[in-house]
Amino acid sequence: SQKIEQNSEALNIQEGKTATLTCNYTNYSPAYLQWYRQDPGRGPVFLLLIRENEKEKRKERLKVTFDTTLKQSLFHITASQPADSATYLCALGSNYQLIWGAGTKLIIKP
């Protein structure tokens, strides 16, 4: 069956450093992959989408890579700030259906 893995342990990063989150998947060939941010008690907020034929996507301090051979996506936040602390979810998509990872909690320490 399809499986998405995100690091279940919280990631602690010092302010100003680059945070890197990982999303691995098996038994699936998504047409695209999305990253979302979710704050406690709130719905997910869309951040970035990367298609299967794209290697890398950037948006301000965010960068996403997508390796369909490794079946892995990396999500980077450069010059991290305490306000970046949240849970980050990856979701794999085909047409409009999404399959979700459980998310990784990111904590940026001042």
Q: Does 49 bind another protein (CB under 8 A)?
A: yes
One residue of 12, 17, 29, 45 binding another protein per CB under 8 A: 45
Q: Does 86 bind another protein (CB under 8 A)?
A: no
Taking the C-alpha atoms of 14, 67, 23 and 85 in order, what is their torsion angle to the nearest 10 degrees?
A: 30
One residue of 43, 53, 60, 83 binding another protein per CB under 8 A: 43
Q: Does 47 bind another protein (CB under 8 A)?
A: no
Task: Supply the minimum distance, in Å, between the C-beta of residue 100 and another protein.
Answer: 4
Residues that bind another protein (CB under 8 A): 4, 8, 31-32, 36, 41-46, 49, 51, 89, 93, 95-96, 98, 100-103
